[in-house]
Amino acid sequence: MRPFEHINAQTVHETTTLLGKYKGKAILNAGGTEVLSILKGEYLSDYPDAIINIKTLSGLNYIKEEKGVLKIGALTQLSEIAKSPLLKTYCGALVEAAHSVATPQVRNVATIGGNLCQDVRCWYYRYPFKIGGPIMCLRKGGKICNALTGDHRYHSIFGAAGISTYPCASNCPANIDIPSYLNRVKDGNLLEAAKQLMDFNPIPAITGRVCPIFCEPECNRSEFDQPVAIRCIERSLGDEILKRMAEMFTPPEKESRKKIAIIGSGPAGLTAAYYLRRSGYRVTVFEKMAELGGMLLYSIPPYRLPKEVVRKQIEALKGMGIKFELGVDAGKDISVTKLASRFDALFWATGAWKEKPLGIKGERVALSGLEFLNKVNAGQRDIPGRRVAVIGGGNVAMDVARALRRMGAEPVVIYRRSQDEMPAFGDEVKKAKEEGVEFEFLTTPMEASEANGKILLKCVRMKLGSRDASGRPKPIRIPGSDFMVTVDAVIKAIGEEPDRSMLPAPFRRKVFKETSLVHPLGKNFFAGGDFIAGPSTVVQAVASGREAARLIAQSLTVGKSSVKGSELNSEFIPPSFEAAPRVHIPELPVSERIKGIDLEDTPGLSLREIETEAKRCFNCGCLAVSPSDIAISLIALDAKVVTTKRTLDAQHFFAASATRTTILAPDEVVTEIQIPKPLDGVRQNYLKFTLRSPIDFAIVSVASVITVERGQCKDARIVLGAVAPAPLRATKAEDLIRGKPINPNTAAEAAELSVADAMPLSMSAYKVEIAKTLVKRAILG
């Protein structure tokens, strides 16, 4: 064993104080059976600093009746419960459960409180450190539940316990709850999938085309074969949403008197407008351009993002009652002061349109990359020359170069670092090369001049030095490496930055934190999107717009906002493992791509294809089951668990989480169990199926408390154990038998309903039949 501090607590207050002091690094020793396993096996990822012995506490070992309530102290041994005359009279299910635990020797020391709080029994989780090192399963900080692809015979058949942050979702800037909406897609429930997706992202038809795929590299499926094609699923679902826009984008049922102005109709502004309008606010979006969409419409070329998709998205938002005012340059045509007087809140999201200068002699001959893309998106197809130099290595440079190539030009990209340091998306660089775009890496222009209708670029070769403030190697000129590049035109695309000149001076002087999603400028006045962060991605702008909507709604309602933050779903999630290959993602061949600029590169997937692909999602939950024999009996008996902080219904005490088995706070201790004295006519049963002997851990267990009058069921509580991450009420079975005669037919029908929501994997499917048999026996008594 590793060293640890051993402390004998004298009071409950001292116990909770010590737990708070050690901040999750201390373990309670009630009976010793669980603690000994932890210390000897050393299977925890974080070994405890202290063991707090609470056997020394007095006053927590009792069984008594007070005012019609049976009370059991948390340190009462299971052997005492198993032989208690009082409990045998009124709580037969609990007595049977206590008697079924392990051996007489264990029951003589194990306590009811310890049994409720014990850790899971999964062998991957409990694999001893000394035998080849620990298995880093999901519960111990690993990436995946080993039972999913390994032996899961004794694991959950009702889904997995979710983790607080799924790898795919946590790497998504918008924190989209990807597993939850994929679950709906795989079930064919596209409407619910769409609603869940839109809780986090209202423009999936757009992000599903242009997102650089932050999520897929983190997908745990890639540990087995290839990641789930999340972006393709999002795109197809987004297209379906736009087909049903009248159903998906509806005006709010209740409308607030509060008015909000949004400056800018790019992705951040449109996202904020959606969530604020959905919350009932009156929203007006101001846009200085002649058409809505911001960089979505004017900067991203149509082969990546067809303009009709953007226009449909805006049409959908108009259907919600959002107002749009075009040709209004906020800060010039209408002052910030006037906007603040007309509206209750402002969100400034005008993006980053100010291009950085090259800083070289003769720069005036260089054309603007953004202006070139604006013209392309407006329908102009004239090229500035056959041979065109594109200076820069970011996404705008790639869009310019690829657009030029499709329009018949011969672009050459000049970039001062190597390909590895390019800020452009890797997939865009790869496609540009496939399409015939030339690259001059480790090259920078020094001077530009015109001669005989051509442009002469004096360039110099570079080498990489130590890392600079950007975290990339600094490019250093190589003396004597000058050379000339002759082209017909030069387009600069070395980066953009926000133009904050239209803000009043007090706001311009504020320090902007580029790492924040939203920046407060004043009371109910926020800025976000690229206006804060500089050039980023569409999905990052979505995250900023949603956060702005949340903060504005919160400031105006003086309470919790109805706009979702980054919280994820906590329900049981269906595990999934299908040895299926990743869907083939169709893409036009290079020969077709370079023929024109208006044809989309990737046609997209059918709804049937995304349903099949969604089934490849692991869901990344923990399949370990709740091991407590006592728990299901207490839930069936409608017991309460009393702690040092609160009194809980027993069924709410257990947590379906991949990191916790109960909802106890780090400094919270169970002190008592309270059971209402059962009425006459109550049938109680506890049944347990094990593989080897009655003292083994349950494969399936069932506890039932059924009130019968004149042969008919008046009330029922049926609870399943060892089949899910937490004890599970069979509510469908309970509802069925209430008011019906107790007979084999009713019991059989209820047994079927008790496992109606089961979702076993291949090796654990046998547990379904065992559960049905035990439920039937429990009902019939």
User: In terms of DSSP H, where are the helices of 211-351?
Assistant: 230-243, 245-248, 267-278, 295-298, 307-318, 336-342
CATH 3.30.390.50 fits 62-121+623-780, yes or no: yes
Select from 324, 338, 231 the least CA-distant residue to 274.
324
For residue 562, pLDDT beyond 80 = no
Which residue type occupies 614? A
For residue 580, pLDDT beyond 90 = no
For residue 112, pLDDT beyond 90 = yes
CATH of domain 359-494: 3.50.50.60
Q: Strands (DSSP E) along 59-215, which ranges? A: 63-66, 69-73
> DSSP letters along 574-641, please?
-------PPPP-----HHHHTT-SSS-S-----HHHHHHHHTT-----B-PPP--HHHHHHHHTT-EE
The 10s digit of each residue's pLDDT in 354-401 is 999 999 999 999 999 999 999 999 999 999 999 999 999 999 999 999
- Length of the chain in terms of residues written: 781
End-to-end CA distance of the chain: 47
CB contact at 8 A, 393 and 415: yes
Confidence of residue 512 (pLDDT cuts 50, 70, 90): low
At residue 156's C-alpha, the angle toward residues 154 and 157, to 5°, is 110
Provide the pLDDT for residue 533.
81
CB contact at 8 A, 455 and 365: yes
CB contact at 8 A, 514 and 532: yes
Calculate mean pLDDT across residues 685-698: 83
Of residues 165 and 686, more confidently modeled: 686
* Gap between the Cα atoms of 339 and 331, Å rounded: 9
H or E element in which residue 21 lies: helix 12-22
Give me the sheet containing 26-29, strands edge to edge: 5-8, 50-53, 26-29
At residue 672's C-alpha, the angle toward residues 12 and 625, to 5°, is 105
pTM: 0.80
* Backbone torsions φ then ψ of 292, nearest 5 degrees: -80, 155
Instruction: Compute the chain's Rg from CA coordinates.
Output: 32
Q: Which residues pair with 390 in a beta bridge?
A: 413, 491
For residue 694, pLDDT beyond 70 = no
* Gap between the Cα atoms of 157 and 326, Å rounded: 56
Confidence of residue 35 (pLDDT cuts 50, 70, 90): confident
The 10s digit of each residue's pLDDT in 219-270 is 988 878 899 999 999 999 999 999 999 999 999 999 999 999 999 999 999 9
Q: Do domains 62-121+623-780 and 359-494 have the same CATH topology?
A: no
* Gap between the Cα atoms of 664 and 653, Å rounded: 8
Q: Which two tokens stand for residue 641?
A: 């668990």
Provide the pLDDT for residue 742.
95
* Gap between the Cα atoms of 411 and 399, Å rounded: 11
For residue 496, pLDDT beyond 80 = yes
* Gap between the Cα atoms of 477 and 770, Å rounded: 75
For residue 566, pLDDT beyond 50 = no
Provide the pLDDT for residue 148.
86
Calculate mean pLDDT across residues 539-549: 96
CB contact at 8 A, 414 and 445: yes
* Gap between the Cα atoms of 758 and 764, Å rounded: 11
Neighbour count for residue 479 (Cβ, 10 Å):
8
For residue 558, pLDDT beyond 60 = no
Can you give the residue ranges of every domain in the chain?
A: 62-121+623-780, 167-247+574-614, 255-353+498-557, 359-494
The 10s digit of each residue's pLDDT in 427-447 is 999 999 999 999 999 999 999
* Gap between the Cα atoms of 292 and 155, Å rounded: 53
Mention the CATH class of domain 167-247+574-614.
mainly alpha
Provide the pLDDT for residue 68.
94
Confidence of residue 693 (pLDDT cuts 50, 70, 90): low
Mean confidence (pLDDT) of the chain: 92
Lowest mean pLDDT among 299-313, 438-452, 528-542, 654-668: 654-668
Mention the CATH class of domain 255-353+498-557.
alpha beta
Which residue type occupies 637? L
H or E element in which residue 345 lies: strand 345-348
Confidence of residue 452 (pLDDT cuts 50, 70, 90): very high
Lowest mean pLDDT among 167-171, 349-353, 413-417, 650-654: 167-171
> CA separation (Å) from 115 to 371, 646, 656?
69, 19, 17
> CA separation (Å) from 390 to 298, 380, 437?
19, 19, 10
* Gap between the Cα atoms of 353 and 350, Å rounded: 8
